[in-house]
Structure formats: C-alpha cells, structure tokens
Amino acid sequence: MNKDRSSKEKRRLPERSQELISLEEEIKTCYRCPLAGGRTKTVPGEGPGRAGLLLVGEAPGKDEDQAGLPFVGRAGSVLDRALKEAGIDRAEVFITNVVKCRPPDNRRPKKEEVEVCRPYLESQIEIVGPKVVILMGNAATKAVLGVEGVTNLRGQLFSDLFLVTFHPAAVLRNRDLEGALVSDLSAARYRAKILRGSADDGGGSDLPGGQGAFSTEKRDSTFESARGRESI
C-alpha cells in the first residue's frame, strides 16, 4: 500500500451522514455476486455525506482491497495530485467505484457484477447530492451512460450531471493525459461552484481548463435509462 495513504491520521476525515453509514454497512455484508468470495474488504467509498463532486472509478485494486478505501495505491497518488492541482480538497469530495469489491487479477468488472452493484452507486449519488458526477475511465462511463471512448468523450457533460474524464491509472501509463485530467477536474469544481450559486460572476460560459472543457451533450443515456443496456 502507498505509505502516504496507509494511515488515516494523515487525512482529515469527512463527516458522514447516517444514510451513508447504513449503506456502507449493507455493502460490507453483500454477497450478491462472486466477487464477495475473493475480497479482503469491501470498498464502499469515502467522502462527506453531502458533496458538490462525486468521483466514480472502475473497481478496487489490491491496495484498496486491503485498506477498504478507494484510490489509495499508485492511481490514488495520481488522483491526489490531480485534485490538488485542480484546487480540490479530497476530503470535500465523495469517491467511489462502479463495483465495491476487487475483481480477480484487477480485471474489468463483468456486466452482472456492475448490475448487482448499480443500486449502491445510485443510492450514493442520491444521498450525496453532487452537482457533478465525474466518471473516470471507460468502465465507469459504460456502466453509467452506456457508452465508452474516453478520448472522444472527455470534458463533455451528459444529462447536466455526468462528466467523463480519464482514469488516474491511464495517467500512470501515459503521463501526457494528466493535464486533461486536471483540466476536467478543474472544470467540474467550477461548475459545482456555479450551481451552488457562489461564483462571483454567476455564469458558466468562461470555464477553466482549456478549450473544449465541459461542453454539454444531451443524451437519453442517463443513469436510469442505462440500466437496460446489455453490455458494459
């Protein structure tokens, strides 16, 4: 495990709502799919009971499986750095994954695994009430929107809520993607600020993050309509 994230005393722990605590306890006792049989710990998510930003990754990895916390390994270090560069305090955002248990050999979650975990993610979004849900990577994008192709979709806002961006693990493989990740996170932070009514100018046209950041795309592939799709 990454030593910088190995102990909670180095982090400011967020205040969680009773609803999130109850949901977390439900997830910890979930045996609805075979992933439960191979886990060390469930990884429900981490963050405050209410947050302007909610980040969704693919699945826990080895470090996350051992810690019971999301994004604590090498990809977590990339995410921490990107959040800091975007002016975002990790303790003030909610971070989770499409599935809450580690798939064998870190493979991509299967369709049935995503479908079993879907109600948990839906409940987290409902409870936390984010202004922007950031879908990191193809697995999260496919699970929620029913589409994938992050290179073409990143920086776009779908259904006025879901922003697609690169997964931090992709940045580990290609450092050139880090700027795009930071740009998208910065744009998400700004939009959340606008929607809270706390931005100085009250407008959303001058978004930070570079050309193309946060273009808005309307589709019928919202979270609920993505339920009926046959592949992930």
61-102: per-residue pLDDT in tens?
999 999 999 999 999 999 999 999 999 999 999 999 999 999
Lowest mean pLDDT among 26-40, 152-166, 193-207: 193-207
Give CA–CA dist 9/165, Å, rounded.
30
145 sits in which H/E element: helix 138-145
pLDDT at position 14 is 63
Higher pLDDT, 180 or 227: 180
12-45: per-residue pLDDT in tens?
556 778 999 999 999 999 999 999 999 999 999 9
Residue percentage of the chain with pLDDT more than 90: 77
CA angle 43–181–184, rounded 5-degree value: 100
Quick one: CA dihedral 94, 160, 167, 104, positive or negative?
Answer: positive
CATH superfamily of 14-219: Uracil-DNA glycosylase-like domain (3.40.470.10)
Strands 132-136 and 94-97: unpaired
Query: Which residues have C-beta within 8 Å of that of residue 107, sequence separation ≥ 6?
Result: none
pLDDT at position 212 is 36
For the cut 50, the answer to whether the pLDDT of residue 222 exceeds it is no
- Structure-derived torsion over alpha carbons of residues 156, 92, 96, 198, reported in degrees to the nearest 10: -30
Q: Where are the domains of the chain?
A: 14-219
Mean pLDDT across the chain? 85
